[in-house]
């Protein structure tokens, strides 16, 4: 395995912009905390940490010279379960309704930076996982899976934001969780909000990934 120093140097063009966005996000939040003495938006740090988990998983997997099938499947499932946490920060704009009027502008900027940071971790993680999966699975299956991935992620965002499910609830309350999912899928008319949310954000995430792939991924090549 590469040493940490060599690994970070080789991936500098990926790690540096992600690190910079993360630091800038924390800096903006720190400024708000310092001036207002309010800890209300501190949850953004936790949400950003959750957004990093899929990236850390895909980075770890990519750095393995060999990975056993069982371990590959396990990590891939965990990655999928946590992936909606990366763009989930987009939904934190809902909290602006609780911001004081004089802080609306700053809070909008702060949440936007956190959301962009989460999206950056999202698209880079998918890029790395796509490369990894193509090495281990049929390329056509991988590419077809990517078509529906953004909608699956968007659906996960809905489960988290609206129904308040967490990634680890699949272990804590799997029956109730699967019941909710089954109800939404089999009764689209009665769950129009869920389908609208899923389609809208799914298309948005596709557009975001397409933009990164077309304009930025060439710059971020290893």
pLDDT in tens, the chain (222 residues): 455 555 555 567 788 899 999 999 999 999 999 999 999 999 999 999 999 999 999 999 988 888 888 999 999 999 999 999 999 999 999 999 999 999 999 999 999 999 999 999 999 999 999 999 999 899 999 999 999 999 999 999 999 999 989 888 888 888 999 999 999 999 999 999 999 999 999 999 999 998 887 666 555 554
DSSP 64: -
**Which among 6, 124, 104 has a CA at the least distance from the CA of 56?**
124
What is the 8-class DSSP label of residue 2?
-
Round the CA-based radius of gyration of the chain to a whole number and report it: 18
Tokens at 32, concatenated: 């708000």
All residues at 6 or more sequence positions from 45 whose CB lies less than 8 Å from its CB, including other chains:
26, 29
Six token digits for residue 34: 């310092």
Measured between alpha carbons, how far is residue 98 from residues 93, 108, 117, 127 in Å? Answer: 10, 12, 22, 36
């Amino acid at each position: 395995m590469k040493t940490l120093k060599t690994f970070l140097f080789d991936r500098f063009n990926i790690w540096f912009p992600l690190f910079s966005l993360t630091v800038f996000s924390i800096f903006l939040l720190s400024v708000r905390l310092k001036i207002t003495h309010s800890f209300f938006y501190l949850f953004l740090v936790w949400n950003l940490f959750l957004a990093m988990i899929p990236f850390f998983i895909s980075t770890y997997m990519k750095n393995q010279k060999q990975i056993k099938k069982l371990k590959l499947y396990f990590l891939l499932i965990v990655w999928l379960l946590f992936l909606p946490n990366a763009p989930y920060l987009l939904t934190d704009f809902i909290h602006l309704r609780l911001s004081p009027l004089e802080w609306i502008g700053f809070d909008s900027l702060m949440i936007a930076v956190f959301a962009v940071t989460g999206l950056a971790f999202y698209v880079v993680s998918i890029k790395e996982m796509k490369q990894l999966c193509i090495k281990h699975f049929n390329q056509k299956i991988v590419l077809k899976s990517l078509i529906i991935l953004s909608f699956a992620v968007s659906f996960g965002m809905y489960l988290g934001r609206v129904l308040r499910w967490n990634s680890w609830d699949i272990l804590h309350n799997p029956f109730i969780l699967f019941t909710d999912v089954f109800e939404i899928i089999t009764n689209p008319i009665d769950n129009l909000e869920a389908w609208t949310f899923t389609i809208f954000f799914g298309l948005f995430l596709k557009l975001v990934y397409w933009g990164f792939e077309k304009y930025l991924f060439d710059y971020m090549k290893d």
